[in-house]
Amino acid sequence: MIITRWGANAGIASHHMSHNRGVPRILILLLHSGIKLSFAIGSCILCIMELQWIEDFLALCQTRNFTRAAEAVCTTQSAYSRRVQRLEEWLGAPLFDRESRPVSLTAAGEEFLTRAYRLREEIFDARRAVLSVSSHFKKTLRIYTTNTLAATFLSSWLVENKLENYSLIVASIAGCLEAVKRKHADMSLIPHFDGQETLLGLQAQEIGQDRLILVTAPKQRRAVVLTNGKLSGSVMAYTPGTTYGMRIATMLAQHRISIQDLPSCESASAEALLAQVKAGLGSAWIPELLLRGSKVGRCAVPSFFDIPYKIMLVKPSQDSHTG
């Protein structure tokens, strides 16, 4: 008797999985009974994917060292290495060149990197969306916005427009737009950069303006300097795949400027990066809205380093997808 390989929709419940190797227990029983399998056991890992594997992958991308990555996710190096290997088996390609020092990404790893950040953010956005369904109001106005706008621009805008009895959901820009498109949000306030096509098919109105500014603290330990198209010093970055990160990368590429050193810190949160700037740990592009009252100042760089954007009020169109 030969058992052939099945796909991810085979319906194998998680309680059939081995706790040690991620192999369905039914296969272990089949092997013990002498039944011949026409596929490798490793291929069965295609049935399962874990969020922790994405966190493991991102930790190694940041540290480029298995020992430090394992410490970052609070596990042993052996357990960590096994989890990374399972992710590679699940994807069907090696993600890291283990022979290089420090560990480097393969072409497949580079391809997966941006997707990994987006996958993680979408999962967290999904959780926030589900939590928002529970409300103190029988019928509530659902407003989606980003962390930065929620902490700065939004409150005065709500007062000006006399809105009340609303649910406020904080999400990524992509999460806000997805909520509007699916009519899970009544409105969304988001930053929007020129050249983006993300608002097509939606009702959009400009309600404010802001810009990203490369800022530094008075006593930063490694000052940022631009010399011959190279930006040196302690520069902090937004994680790949974030809107801010992509816009900064586009600006630098347009002016043929490269960042000489690896980022001293990486985060998807402007608020988190600003806290590091204030501590003198590095420079970062921060929304000007967040800088009011702070003692950080603009770096000595050309004016084109400032990246303007509009604050848009976005609402569903009458024919938006409702799935």
- Tell me the pLDDT tens digit for each residue of 130-139: 666 665 555 5
Q: Tokens 């600006």 label which residue?
A: 251
More confident residue, 35 or 84: 84
DSSP state of 17: B
Distance CA 2, CA 35 (A): 7
Binning pLDDT at 50, 70 and 90, where does residue 10 land? very low
Strands of 106-260 (E only): list them: 141-145, 166-170, 187-192, 203-216, 225-227, 230-232, 237-238, 258-259
pLDDT tier for residue 304 given thresholds of 50, 70 and 90: very high
Taking CA atoms, 268 is separated from 12, 103, 286, in Å, by 36, 23, 12
Residue 313: strand pairing partners: 189, 205
Please write the tens of the pLDDT for every residue from 132-175.
666 555 557 889 999 999 999 999 999 999 988 888 888 888 88
Tens-place pLDDT, residues 258-300: 998 888 888 889 999 999 999 999 999 999 999 988 889 999 9
Three-state secondary-structure class, residue 198: coil
Preceding peptide of 102 cis, ω within 30°: yes
Report the predicted TM-score, pTM, of the whole model to 2 decimal places.
0.63
Q: What is the pLDDT of residues 165-217, one digit of tens each?
A: 888 888 888 888 888 888 888 999 999 998 766 787 889 999 999 999 999 99
CB 263 within 8 A of CB 293: no
